[in-house]
Structure 1
Amino acid sequence: MYSRLPQAIVLLIFCASCNASENKTIASNVYRITKDIVAYGPRDPGSKGLEKVRSYLRGKVAGMGFVLQEQHFKANTPLGAIEMKNLYFDIPGTTSAMILLGAHYDSKRMGDMKFIGANDAASSVALLLGLSPWIKKQRFKYTVRVVLFDGEEAIRTWSSLDSLYGSKAYVQQIGEKESVKA
């Protein structure tokens, strides 16, 4: 469905400067976090599964020493208004200008099918969380903001009106206030 090439490139760039021990630790953490998220089952917007994953992510981010922020918003979906929450935290650089790294933590609503979304997108959330402690140690020039979006998946049928709810809400909030470089 989606190319994983951008994720692979990011992983290669970050891990090219890691030593073998760091690579193994990061890979192990990413795998464990992916398994943890998937174990909660489907996590479509507004579901109990999504709230459980959100709670897990809060604990995980706090355990890494980062301050998690939440952006609450109501998405107008084909099923009516649904409360959603984007989650984000900053990894300080030497300047306040920032680079955004994002992934969505919801999974597709599939009716009776229990779609757990391991690759779409538990693994991308796990990748960002797994790399965050390493990024923190590097003290890059730019602050890295990790954004975990709610409501990326379509509620019914993918369209410009029924998808990317969290991304759209986040862009409206950030506007011109932040100095985003990439």
Structure 2
Amino acid sequence: FRAQEGAEDSKTLGRRDLIAHGFTANDVLVGIAASGRTPYVLGGLAFAQELGAPTIALACSEHPAIAAFADIALIPVTGPEAITGSTRLKAGTAQKLVLNMLSTGTMIKLGKVYGNLMVDVRTSNKKLEERARRIVMEVTGCTRDEAIAALQAADGRAKLAILLQLTGCSAAEGAARLTAAHGRLKEALA
């Protein structure tokens, strides 16, 4: 990877990149600029606002310009960097923590967790197969062999395997229940 020097100085490039990625009013844009005034981010946020898409500004400076183009402004003011001009230090770390919180909240809201477990696991490799088995066992209290059988019946989908194990329903019925519950296991179990 190489930095694209100068790209951050273009408001039109921010807009163009969103168009190229198919950004619509149904999406949410998080504009990230440690300084709070990066033209690329300003252009992207302005475009998202024009579309009527929800916008969030994430900056680490007081009174950031990008806040004017956002529905929500998240401003973890970290103070001056130990090395002046190196926003990868405190500002970058603070922004990473905020992004972790946003993504965690999103996964919870989308029903990808049950309690504190990531139940929306698809077993695409050995590590994830083992993780899914442990999750099914923990939620249901079943044995390893029962978890394996439930995961096989659920085509490797942990959330569906849990539902099958706890309710005894068929995979088709379980999938229909999850669909009706918008993918939320807790609601599908009710």
The two structures share one fold, judged by TM-score above 0.5 = no
Q: TM-score band, normalised by the shorter chain?
A: under 0.3
Whose strand proportion is higher, 1 or 2? 1
- Which has the larger share of helix? 2
TM-score w.r.t. length of structure 2:
0.23
Relative contact order higher in (CA < 8 Å, ≥ 6 apart): 1
